[in-house]
Structure 1
Amino acid sequence: MNIRPIFWLLPALFAAQVQAAPLPPKVEQSLTAPEEHFDKQPPADVPAPPKPPQQSESGSLTISSEELQKQPALLKQAFYSAIAANNTPAVRLLLPLYRRLPDGNEEVPIALSEAMIARADGHYAQAIEKFRFALDKQPDMPVAQMSLAQTLHSDYRYPSAAKAFEEIAQRTDLPPEFHQVAQTYLNSIKAREDWKFQVNGNYLDDKNVGNTPDRYIIGAWSLNPPESAHGISYYGSVSREKWLADHFTLRYGADLYGKTYWDNHRFDDLAVRVKAGFGYQTGRSETVVQPYFERRWFGSDGYSRELGIGIDWSYWLTARNQLILSAAHATQNYDDRRYLEGRLRTASATWLFVPSGTQYWTLGTDWTRKTAQDASDAYRRQAVRVGWTQQWPAQFGTSVNLSWAKRTYDRPNFPFNYIRIDHERSAAVSLWNRKVQWWGIMPRLVWRWQQTRSNHPFYGDYTKRDVFIQLNKAF
């Protein structure tokens, strides 16, 4: 469920040196700065909203509510049978009718039916309370015991769920099916604490690796023409979580992402981030707080260090709609370019809509505030983005993502006496087929388009297009 927000590639400054009238060193350095973020494609998997345990839909009523109300014995039998069969739709229909009976106030059946309805509606805490009440009154109810354990699992109360499933697995008076289900859940709880790995990579054929503007002869200055580079882009992550108590986890891991060009190492880029923090998760919401440290190298030299903290929060408003919020605050220090040192603050909001199990839509907005010792390198950036991912017949899948952004700097940038403003647009389309995999590695065909329009000629207008195959592996 962890469906986390998507951060887009921010255009780089231009990798060029002035050949005619020389520029101050600070300007030359700014024209050879690396990209602020690496491009990490959105996941191909279609997320599904949280689901309650599977419920039986067997059994249907062929008698009207009015007629059923006139036959109390039949009504009770239908009500008890619906509870025993875990048939929540029938229980939802019959409970109000049962309450109208003169003796329709039995605590245990009412508690069990209310628990089933609450679980189906995603109100897990209420469901757990009702199941426990019923089991306190009547302990020997294996079906209710299993339902309680499953609900604890759905609400991410894993230590309590593990204890409940172990009790079921140890009972010798239950059918083998109960033991099998309990063991399956116990295995899934244990697997949740395993190390998780993810890697992806793709070939790079960049004809303008330095993002040189279309016009690179500007008055008395002449920027180097566009440079090409060939190499690979790669990303890898390792993470783990340990359950401390119901809902609470310790989370830690590392990310590595970069680009390597075998014919132009001047633009090699590598960043390594380590993080550790805590998470709180329920059946409907998740909160993660993780401090982190990132070290970055550009070319063959150290480039920057970043120390910060990130906060992510998500909440399922309904079974199909999720709200995702993220924020981060960091201090940035640079090996050589001290004028860039300052603070970086980011925030984002994303609405996730899952109309079916085969597609989802995202609509989001991002905000960035970068401060720097030199105010001409400080800026504010606002962005909006939209995405659509679809699973098609024959296991084909597609993903389309669009974004628009505006970046406004604080003060004029040399040698022009006006505020620099960049307009950024990007689009990405991915195609894959789940049948096409080798050793768990699934290729995706990706087309990507990026465009930047700036009023500052040194960082001016340029457009980039890429088509490549990306390889993905998670284990």
Structure 2
Amino acid sequence: MRYSLLALALYAVASHASAAPAPHDEILPDLNRDQIRQAERQNAETTVQPQQNQVSMSSEELIRHPEMLTDAMDTALARQNIDNIRFLLPLYRRMEGHDETMASYAGAILYRADGDYKAAEQGFRNIIKEHPDYAPVRLQLALTLSQDGKAREAAKELQEVRKTPDLPEPTKEYLGEFNKYLKKDRAWHFDGNLSYVRDNNVSRAPRERIYGGFEFEEPRTAHGIVYDVSAQKNILLNGHWIWKNSLSAGGKFYWDAHDYDDLIVRAETGAGWRNRKQEISLSPFYEKRWYGTEPYSGTAGGVLRYSHMLSSKWWIFSAWQYGYRRHKDRGFLDGVNHAASASVLYRRTDKEYFVFGTGKGYSSARDRSDAYEFENLRAGWTKSWGKLGEFSTSLNGTVQYRRYQAEDIFSIKRLDRETYVHLAAGHKKLSWKGFTPRLNWAWTHVHSNHFYYRQDQHRVFLDVTKQF
């Protein structure tokens, strides 16, 4: 699967010419981005299911022919045909001399199909307790545990199944695919994005060069790269519990304007609980920022995330983050930051989905003219075209408001409306060893009551993504 990667936010603000450069304000990050990536990964890496075929028999015919009913039930179970099992099981239980183990086995499969994983697991374990050598039952238990988020226990059961002598070759192939699927859950997942940038006003010099006795520098052009890399790994604990780890780094590197180089490195680690439909996690994090090749700030805090699958087409995501940011040289910017984010994903087809989201938060500072509240709205659309889905497009937009708490040195209490639009298109035939180029267009517009922060910028660029 190809995981869509968002480009890093474009910066909208510059520092005063008389002061050392400072980072620009940015479109605040979407806290649900990693959750949506994980949902996309789960949607692609679905365990291979046995093929289902339909049979057509009436209940009257089956009741009059017990042998036929038994054969039909055995066939439906072997092929994992849920519709047929649901139809046959009540008839089979009415049959005199029926095999109660087979009936319990069929009942457990129906529990799983209906989403009652606890009852399904208990049903399979009851059978294994009496018949520990029943490999098909143990395989169904492994599948149930995997779907319910208990990957560690599923792997143990799968290893027991693989010890069964004289397994048919198709079964060995299925077990191999199942084992690969389980390994992916506990493996490192990496994402990367790289693009060239030419910025005609990297210092974000205002159009008004002179204001209130202040004179500002001329616009400066810079050339460089924008990059974004991340890595995630789950450590499987007992039951539904996991330990989540995440590392990321992103920023800009200008080979002809190092005063504006920007790098943010972030590390998260914490516990999570999950099952088939939902996941909740709490992770402490630390974030370090370098600006102009020098240490700029450090933020320590925690992030709470929750996701829930309402159906195969609808997902909801929410997150709340708290952090305290401390600056190396600009103590007047130190303060607490709160941010909340919520998103809804609607999958129209296997090749098309929409995301709608909103965010709200507060960033404090010792100097109240740098403290602000923010709120935003987000929308995105992603689609793969054609039978094979080789050509893909994505369109994402964000509108954000910032309301500052006090007047600054220009006696202006700042109010900004920021708009960001990003359109990307790529084709798998242009990929080389997993590196996929995309053509991008991005527009950033800042409407502000403050002369210094107004901005309108268009960018057309190529980037390269890689997922492995």
Query: So what's the TM-score if we normalise by structure 1?
Result: 0.87
- The answer (yes or no) to whether the contact 1:16–1:210 under 8 Å persists in 2 is no
1:405 positional shift:
1.1
Matches within 5 A, 1:313-462: 313-393=306-386, 395-416=390-411, 419-459=413-453, 461-462=454-455
Cα pair 2:8 2:228 within 8 Å, conserved? no
Once the two structures are superposed, residues 31-88 of structure 1 have per-residue CA deviations (whole angstroms, 9 ceiling, x without a partner) of 8433457989997996564856514321332x455x4576463545433431232111
CA distance in 2, matches of 1:119, 1:51: 16
Residue aligning to 1:21:
none
Residues 273-288 of structure 1: pairs in structure 2 closer than 5 A: 273-288=266-281
Q: Are the structure 2 counterparts of residues 323 and 189 from structure 1 closer, same or farther at C-alpha, using a change threshold of 3 Å?
A: same
Alpha-carbon distance between aligned partners in 2 of 1:266 and 1:335, rounded to the nearest angstrom:
16
CA contact (8 A) 1:168 1:179 kept: no
Deviation >6 Å, runs of 4+: 3-8, 37-45
C-alpha change, 1:107 and 1:411, in structure 2 (3 Å) is: farther
Letter in 2 for 1:472: T
CA distances 1:117-144 after superposition (whole Å, capped 9, x unpaired): 2323443333212222333354443322
Coordinate RMSD, CA, aligned:
3.1
Deviations, residues 223-256 of structure 1 (Å, cap 9, x unaligned): 3333221101112223433223233233334221
In the alignment, does 2:77 pair up with 1:83?
yes
Distance 2:306 2:162 in 1: 35
Matched, 1:223 2:233: no
Is the deviation greater in 224-233 or in 238-247? Answer: 238-247
- What are the equivalent positions in structure 2 for 1:182-221 lying under 5 Å apart? 182-218=175-211, 220-221=213-214
Q: Give unpaired runs (5+ residues) of structure 1.
A: 19-27
Paired residues of 1:48 and 1:357 also in contact (CA < 8 A): no
Q: Is the 8 A contact 2:202 2:220 kept in 1?
A: yes
Deviates more, 1:279-288 or 1:208-217: 208-217
CA distance in 2, matches of 1:405, 1:38: 8
Range 109-118 or range 322-331, more displaced:
109-118
Contact (CA 8 Å) 2:343, 2:356: kept in 1 or not?
A: yes
Once the two structures are overlaid, the 10-residue window that deviates more, 113-122 or 315-324, is 113-122
- What number of residue pairs does the alignment pair up? 459
Say if 2:145 is the partner of 1:155.
no
Q: Are positions 1:243 and 2:233 aligned together?
A: no
- CA deviation profile, 1:445-465 (whole Å, cap 9, x unmatched): 111111111112222x21111
Tell me if the contact between 1:234 and 1:259 (Cα under 8 Å) persists in the aligned partners. yes
Q: What is aligned with 1:12?
A: 12
The letter of the residue matching 2:378 is R
**Structure-1 separation of matches of 2:175 and 2:427:** 34
Post-superposition offset of 1:474? 2.5
Distance (whole Å) between structure 2 residues aligned to residue 319 and residue 367 of structure 1: 28
Instruction: Tell me the distance in 2 between the aligned counterparts of 1:140 and 1:195.
Output: 34
**Structure 1 SS opposite 2:233:** strand
Q: Which deviates the most, 67-76 or 386-395?
A: 67-76
Secondary structure of residue in 1 paired with 2:430: coil
For residue 137 of structure 2, the aligned residue among 144, 164, 172 is: 144
Partners of 2:459 and 2:37 lie apart in 1 by: 19
CA distance in 1, matches of 2:392, 2:240: 33
CA offset digits 1:403-450 (Å, max 9, x no partner) = 111111112223225x32110111111101112212221111111111
How much has 1:388 moved relative to structure 2?
A: 0.7
Provide the residue aligned with 2:23 in structure 1: 33
Percent identity at matched positions?
Answer: 30
Q: What letter is aligned with 2:300?
A: L
SS at match of 2:237: strand
Seen in structure 2, the aligned counterparts of structure 1 residues 68 and 315 have a Cα distance that, compared at 3 Å, is farther
Work out whether 1:54 is the aligned partner of 2:44: no
Q: CA deviation at 1:284?
A: 1.7
Contact 2:8 2:251 in 1 (8 A): no
Question: What amino acid is the match of 1:425?
Answer: T
Alpha carbons 2:22, 2:291 under 8 Å: kept: no
Q: Which amino acid aligns with 1:367?
A: K
Q: What amino acid maps onto 2:397 in structure 1?
A: L
The within-5 A match list for 1:287-298 is 287-298=280-291
How many angstroms does 1:262 deviate by? Answer: 1.4
Gaps of 5+ in 2: none
The 1-side partners of 2:397 and 2:26 are apart by 19
Q: In structure 1, the residue corresponding to 2:170 is in which secondary structure?
A: helix
Return closer, same or farther for 1:6/1:432 CA change in 2, 3 Å cut-off: closer
Q: 1:12 to 1:462 in 2, by over 3 A?
A: closer
Moved more, 187-196 or 380-389: 187-196
TM-score in terms of structure 2 length: 0.88
Note closer, same or farther for the CA distance 1:7–1:283 as it changes in structure 2 (3 Å cut). farther
Q: d(CA) in 1 for partners of 2:203 and 2:122?
A: 60
1:113 paired with 2:118, answer no
**443-452 or 220-229, larger mean C-alpha shift:** 220-229
TM-aligned CA distance change 1:314 to 1:39, over 3 Å: closer
Indicate the SS of the match to 1:245.
coil
SS at match of 2:126: helix
Aligned twin of 1:92? 86
Contact 1:46 1:358 in 2 (8 A): no
Which residue identity does 1:378 align to in structure 2? Answer: A
Distance 1:367 1:4 in 2: 24
Which residue does 1:259 correspond to in 2? Answer: 252
Asked whether the 8 Å contact 2:378–2:396 carries over to 1, the reply is: yes
Alpha-carbon spacing, 1:468–1:7, altered in 2? closer, same or farther (3 Å)? closer
Report the AA paired with residue 306 of structure 1.
T
Shift of 1:15: 3.6
The 1:52–1:182 alpha-carbon spacing in structure 2 relative to 1, beyond 3 Å, is: closer
